[in-house]
Structures are given as structure tokens and as C-alpha cells.
A and B are shown apart, each in its own frame.
Chain A
Amino acid sequence: MTELRELARRLLSEGTVNAVLGWEEGPRGARPAFVTTPDGADRLIFDPRCVHDLASYLSPRRPHLKKLGKVAVVLKPCDARAVAGLIRETQIPRENVVLVGVRCGGVLADPESTAPLSETTVADRCRGCPDREAKLADHVVGTAGAGFPGPSRRAQKIEELAAMPVDRRWDFWQAELSKCVRCHACRQVCPLCFCERCMADKSLPRWIESSPHARGNIAWHITRAMHLAGRCVDCGECERVCPEGIPLGLITRKIAQVVSDRYDFRPSDDPAVPAPVGTYRMDDPQEFIL
């Protein structure tokens, strides 16, 4: 923690950046922090409650944060994959942001949790995560635990769903998606949902009905899943933020598996790796072309 605070203090006092985005102690556990003065660096923390993906704040569709100018952002390895995504898709120039990696051995599911990090309390998405530090980072601080072995419970659930007959799988998703109230919190919090105007917000023509009925909800979630194919970095924010508890990670992870199997692409924190959407290889599977 001292290392992180000292680095943030230096970046701010030397004028390298105008703000450091990290985590602080909030009224209900850890929360995102925006430190704009060298003395404010003492507010910064990093511990297993720092679950939030701060890369979301780099998205160009947040004009109120653009005013900050050049910022440094503290990143777990998974968050660095999101920053790499934003760079890969030309949303932020690499030189406009200072990346501070924190070594990570997994986080808790809930930023309010007071439980020690263990096999039972670790966030499911961290099970099997191979990354301990962000290779993309300009600075790397801290120490990391050994991580937690996979498979995740979610991976098991995906297999279970894949083994179901289609009608039962349909029943499962109908029940889950019927809970959706179309608040679009999943979109708002997603670091890779950066469209200036979302397709779901367009009304002339109305591509996706905005009403939270079965038709509108399924259209929304299928569209969102497709738009995140080969892009979702598994930061888990959409599922964490859903006020109705819909297991959105099952959708994004299933799609990620398909992209991995068919196009040999896994989101990494190397922005130079080309995105599967927008890349054509002679050996791409194309049996779907009639």
C-alpha cells in the first residue's frame, strides 16, 4: 500500500498526471477513488475488496471525466485486459494514460465483504485466472497471492447448460431474462460498451424494443452478447451491477469460449493482438457461408 501511495503521490506532485484513479475506503467497503492532490494519495488502498474495474472510467463516453486531463489508473490484471481492449479499438491513445498495475491473487465477490480471501470467498471469476500482474502497466506494485485453481462454478454451469436439451435451456434463459427491468446498468458499467449512442437507445427505427417484456429483453441480451463477442474481458462488472441478479457472466463467458475455440482469441492485456472482429484469416472457419 505504501508503494502504491508513494507512486501516486509522485505522479501527482511531478505533474505527470492530474488525477489517479484507484480505490479508497468508502462508507460501505472499498470503492473507486479519484485522487487529484498529492496529499490525497494517502486515501488509496488495494486489497481483495477492490473488485471494481476502473478501466470503465477511461471510456470516451464519460465527458465529465475527460475534464480531468491525463490520468493514471490502478489496474488488476483483468482490468488491464479492458484497457488493452480500449487501446486495441482505438478508444484511448496509450500515451494518454499512465497504467499502474497492482499484483493480484484474486479478489472477493463483494467490495463490502469483511471475510478473508479464501477458496470459499474468492470471486468465482478469479478461479483459474492465470494472471498475477498486468504486463501492459508502466509501473507494477504490491505482492500477490498464488491465485486460485479452476474450474469456476460458472464454467461448470455453462457445461451443465450446454448439456441440456434446447427447450430446457430456453426455459432457463426465459426465466432469468424475464427478471430484466432494462435499466441497462450492465451496459453502463461495462468498460467495452463505449458506443456514443447505443443501438438500444435508437428509436428511428427502434431496433430493440425498450420495454422489459420477453421480446425486448431477449433482443437486448442477445445483441449485447454479440457485441461483446471477442471483446468481453471477464471483469464481472455487468453481473455484479445487475439489480435483478441475472447471471450475465454465463452469457459472456459462453461467447468467449466460442470465440476462443473457433478463432483462437482470448482477451489479453496485449493491445497489439488483433481483435477477432475486424480480422480475416484464410483459415477462419467459414462453413456457415452457403
Chain B
Amino acid sequence: MSTTTFIRTADLKGLVADFNAAGIGVAGPARTSDGAVDYQSITSFDAVVLDAQPRNSLKQFFLPPTEPLFKYARQGQDVAILEVPMSFPPRVLIGARPCDAAAVEVLDRVMNWDYKDEPWFARRDATTIVTFACPGGDRSCFCTAVGLAPDATRGSDLLLAPAGDGYVVEIVTPKGQKLVDAYAKRFATGAGVDATKAYRDTARASVEGHVPARPDVIRAWVETHFEDPFWAEISMRCHGCGGCAASCPTCHCFDIVDEPETLTEGVRRRNWDTCQTSLFTMHASGHNPRHDQCGRCRQRVNHKFAIYPARFNDILCTGCGRCARTCPAGQDVTEILTRIVAMATGQGGAA
């Protein structure tokens, strides 16, 4: 078990002021102009909104929607490659949700698989994640069904849970310890983890039972039912809009494009992409192995609950429920997974 310390709410505000003064970027969940809550840059802890799940996830801080990989310049027959900076200023993400912090750690697997993704890990190194234990979720939350919890520490450097006039701070990583040491005057002795038990229990109760906690059963069924009519049935309502992937903390597929800036110079960029569109798998020949939405809906479930577990022994889903909340057509991952478990255990089939 990690060591703990305590921070009063007033000191938490002071801590954000300290970061500002030290030139450390701070981002956290705050209101947007359209009334939603997004993780975004903040300058004061007063802006932080902790009682609503942010609309976006944390992935944009490590894999931005667009980023330059390098610049190029044609010089006669040659092409010169001009590096772009791959070091990033320090940043603290404060008020992260445990499902979002865990997602970043889940993605470290694929980002360091056959190739170490330089910008991803440069941003990871520059960033400290200060997570707040989740107060509880709605019917689309199911973190406990994928091995996490509203107070899971995975991916966090510090985990805060409210107690009295402040927060019990679990120091999860050496990076978290470093932050506590650097701002020691902001931390104090106070309540221990036991004081947060009721808070944690309430949160856990609010997310449990939404999906059976049977990831092995789900994986086995998905691996053996590639042609099942279930996929055709659920895909009918799907528009292929990719809203699920855009809001997902673990969907990480990207496209790479060369964009000319002048006649002789340009930038190679990578941009978010999604397996929910036709273009994602379109071959230059015109053949498309995933020729309709049925294959694309299956792919999303397959990648998260079968392919990623097979390759990395990890689930590419943290149970945040954003895909269900954002879907304009009411596609619901909790329903899909619950039905898969029912079919696998002989209690149901395709409607």
C-alpha cells in the first residue's frame, strides 16, 4: 500500500497558484462556453468541477487531435527532414478521474509495443496526473467490470479522496512523491485512508452491476463469434459517426498525412482517426475488407475486449461509459457486453 498524506482544500488552491507561479501548466475539469465540463487549461482551482464526468477524456493531453511529427522541405531532387520539438513543458493534470488516468497507463502498452512512441512518452514524462477518487457514476459506468474502481490508482501519480476539510492523498508513484516533496508546505498530516471509506463505498455501489464482471467470458465469446448475427443486429442503428471513438479515453488510432505549407515545404501530421468510418480500412485498390457498419461495430468491441487482451493482457476499456453517453443513436456498450455475457452463458441470443 502506498503512503498517504493530507491536503486541505485551501492548500489545494494554493498549490495550483504555486504551479502557475512556477510556470507549470495546469489542466483540469472546468465548464465550457456551451455549459459542458471538459478537461482544459485552468489557472485557478476554483474553476475545477468535480461532480460531473468531463465530456472529453485525458488522451488529448498525450495524443492531441492533431500534431506535427516533422517538417519537410524539397531541395531539388532531395528532401530535407526538419525535426519538430519533442520535449514538452511540465504540466499537472488535476482533478483527473480514475477511469481516465487508468486509460493513459493502458495505452502505454501499445505506445511502447513494437516502437516507442516518442511524443507520447515525452508528454507522459512531462505530465503529473493528480486524480480525484470518483464520487460515483451513472448507469453507463462500469469500471468495476473491467478490473478498475472509482478509487483505482492505476495511471495516477497521486490519488485524492475527500475527508473533512480536505483530501487524503495517496502517493502512488515516485513522480507523485516528487510533487509532494517539492511542495511539502502545502501538505500536512490529517485523516488517513480509513476516513474516506464511506465515500469510496458509495461511489463503488453506484457503478456496480451495470455489466457482469466477466471479461474472460466476453473475450472468449467475441473470439469465437466473428460471424454471429448479433453484430448485424446492433450495427443497424450505428451511423458510423465515430463519436464513441472521439470521446473514448482509450481509442488511439491515428492517421498520418503530409500537408504542404508552400510549394516546397510541408508538415507531416498525425490526426485522430476511427475504425467506425469506411475510409479507415479502404484499400488503394478500392477493396474494403470492412465493407459495412456491421464489421466496424464488431471491430470496436473486438479490439477492446479480445484483441488488446490477447496482445497485451489488458482490456482497452476503462468502463467510463462515454461512448454510451455520446452516441446519437443510443448504442450502449453496457447493453452489448451484458448481452454477450448472457449469450456466452446460455441465457440469451440475438433478438
Contacts and interface: CB of A to CB of B under 8 A. Distances in A.
Whether chain B is bound by chain A comes out as: yes
Interface of B: 32-34, 36, 55-56, 65-66, 139-140, 232-233, 235-237, 239-243, 245-247, 255, 257, 259, 269, 271-272, 274, 277, 279, 291-294, 324-326, 328-330, 332, 334-335, 351
* Chain A interface bracket (under 10, 10 to 19, 20 to 34, 35 or more): 35 or more
Given A27-B330, A64-B293, A201-B279, A188 B271 contact: no
Contacts, number: 114
B284 to A, nearest CB: 10
Contact of B243 (A27, A28, A241, A247): A241
A34 interface: yes
A184 interface: yes
21 contacts: A28-B139, A30-B330, A34-B233, A34-B237, A64-B235, A64-B294, A175-B33, A182-B272, A183-B272, A183-B274, A185-B241, A185-B243, A185-B328, A188-B239, A188-B277, A210-B271, A241-B243, A243-B243, A245-B32, A245-B34, A245-B55
Given A62-B293, A183-B272, A245-B32, A32 B243 contact: no
B328 A189 contact: yes
B278 to A, nearest CB: 8
Given A27-B334, A31-B237, A240-B328, A211 B259 contact: yes
B330 A32 contact: yes
Contacts of B330: 26-32, 111
B36 to A, nearest CB: 6
B242 A184 contact: yes
A213 B65 CA distance: 9
A183 B294 contact: no
Interface of A: 26-34, 40, 52, 56-57, 62-65, 67-68, 111, 175, 181-185, 188-189, 201, 203, 206, 209-213, 237, 240-241, 243, 245, 247
A181 B329 CA distance: 20
Nearest to B60: A181
A26 B255 CA distance: 33
Nearest to B210: A27
